[in-house]
Structure 1
C-alpha cells in the first residue's frame, strides 16, 4: 500500500481530508466514472490513552495475591501449557 502525505498548501486535497474528518466518503472519478472511494481510517489509540482506560471499573480482591492451593498449582505446572513443569 502506498502512503502519500498531503501538504497543507494543497487546497483540493486538504478540503477532501476535511470532508473525510467530517464523516463523509469521497469518490474519485476520471471522466465521470468512479475510480476510487476514500473513507476515513479509524484513528489509532495513542499510548497516552492506553493506560488507565478501565480505572475504577476493575477491582482486584486481596485474595488474588494469596498462594494457589496445591491442586491448582499442580494443574498450572503440569497442564497443557507447561507439561511436566520445570522438572
Structure 2
C-alpha cells in the first residue's frame, strides 16, 4: 500500500496513478489522516457495444407505418381553429 500526503500526491500524481492502475492501493492523506483511496477505473459491462453493427438484428420491431405522414390537424381552416 502506498501512502502520500496531498503535496506529494500533486508532485507525483502520474506515479501514483500508475501504481493504482497496477493494482496497488494508493492512499492520499491530509495532515496524516487518510482522506482518499485511489483505485483503477473499471469500465461497466453494459452487455452490448454500440460500435458493433447488426448486433440487434431481429430484436427490434417497428410498425410498418412508422414513417407514414401524421396529420396533426395543421390543414384545418384557421377560422375553424379560432372558433374551437
**Bigger helix fraction:** 1
Q: What TM-score comes out, normalization by structure 2 length?
A: 0.37
Query: Which structure's CA Rg is the greater one?
Result: 2
